[in-house]
Copies of this chain bind each other. A is one copy, B any other.
Amino acid sequence: MPVDVNDYIQDVSGTILRDVAGDNGRPVTVQDVSRQSGVSTATVSRVINQSPKVRPATRVRVLKAIRELGYMRNHSARALARQRTDTIGVVFPGIDSGFFSEVLKGINEYAVSRDYHLMVAFSQGLPDEHDRVAEYLQAGRVDALILMNLGMSDQFIRQASQRELPIVLIDRPVKDARVASVMIDNISGADAAMSHLLALGYERIAILNGPDGTIDAEQRFQGCQRAAKRAGVTLNKDLVWPGTFFWESGYELMKHWLDSGKTLPEAMFALNDPMAMGVMEAMRERGLSVPKDMALVGFDDVQAARHLGLTTVHSPMREMGRAASEAAISLVTGGRTRLERVLPTELVIRRSCGVERES
């Protein structure tokens, strides 16, 4: 069914672009098609919507008229009549965690395949965030909402979810709310990275943490603890440093460390890639290198990580987008969906932690 619809659309749009509505200015409507093909508007609508109850001959006549007139269906009218927009709203935080484009592509991929459109907004700050969401919540704008990594309170989300509009949260679960959520398996990812470091025999392992209160930081650190516990070692509190998840954070830490003259740890696990890259850069500036002077592992597997040979935990951003998109559309169309999805992460071993396996 979707396939047919697409075919139809391509057909029409091809026409549009070939000979542009030469007639008058007024846009072509079903009425016009109806008149031109000698059938009722109801039948025209049936043809447009691939209803099987149209005699082939009739269908052809209508299609011909559509083509001749360069008819295109009007979205607003259709949405108004059907009470759905075939559009899903996406709200991202204004500060770019760097992933959003990947996630958005994932969302888009699936949405397109289901013939859905995307309405996106970036929120700058909390009040604006609320406004944006509230705006999309307005009946008729979108059929579902995907919210990524926003700062709004659980309470706000819970209230928002009272409306009939399906909501999907990326990178954040909410208890007690009728919303779907998709996250990545931060814990296992961090566990794997830490375990790898431990298996390599490193003992003095520093951890550059993320900011307090973010779920990613919390879970990743939790993963570290799990790995340590399993290995029967304890994390050295003195080697756990607070970070911001920004590049500067890693850069500054390492710079101070080197300035202080203290000996470096054998290895460091930066809880995201930008920080790891900051660390690398600070070392490079001092003529030190990874993994010679210190092993290093990151988290997220941003594009640059590959280029720098940084061992890191791959966060499946694209897939998160896809999953969110699937959940949203499935909620809209009434399909069954798992309300909580946790996507697996995977350790990608490169040269920064001392073993040369992949590049």
Contacts and interface: CB of A to CB of B under 8 A. Distances in A.
Contacts of A104: 120, 122
Contacts of A108: 120-122
A76 interface: yes
A239 interface: no
Contact of A140 (B12, B75, B135): B75
A13 B130 contact: yes
Contacts of A164: 25
A16 B136 CA distance: 12
A74 B139 contact: yes
A159 interface: yes
A203 interface: no
Contacts of A141: 75, 117
Interface string A106-123: 001000100001111110
Interface stretch (A79-87, A220-228, A341-349): A79-87
Number of copies: 2
Interface in A327-342: none
Nearest to A10: B131
A148 to B, nearest CB: 13
Nearest to A90: B120
A96 B85 contact: no
Given A101-B96, A112-B121, A122-B105, A137 B13 contact: yes
A194 B101 CA distance: 32
Contact of A118 (B10, B119, B135): B119
Interface of A: 9-10, 12-14, 16-18, 20-21, 25, 27, 72-77, 79-80, 85, 87, 94, 96, 100-101, 104-105, 108, 112, 117-122, 130-131, 134-135, 137-141, 156, 159-160, 162-164, 247, 251, 277-278, 281, 284, 304, 307-308
13 contacts: A9-B135, A14-B134, A16-B137, A17-B134, A17-B160, A20-B162, A20-B163, A72-B139, A74-B80, A75-B140, A96-B105, A277-B307, A278-B307
- Nearest first, the 9 A-B pairs at minimum CB distance are A13-B134, A76-B79, A74-B140, A20-B162, A76-B80, A75-B140, A72-B138, A76-B140, A101-B101
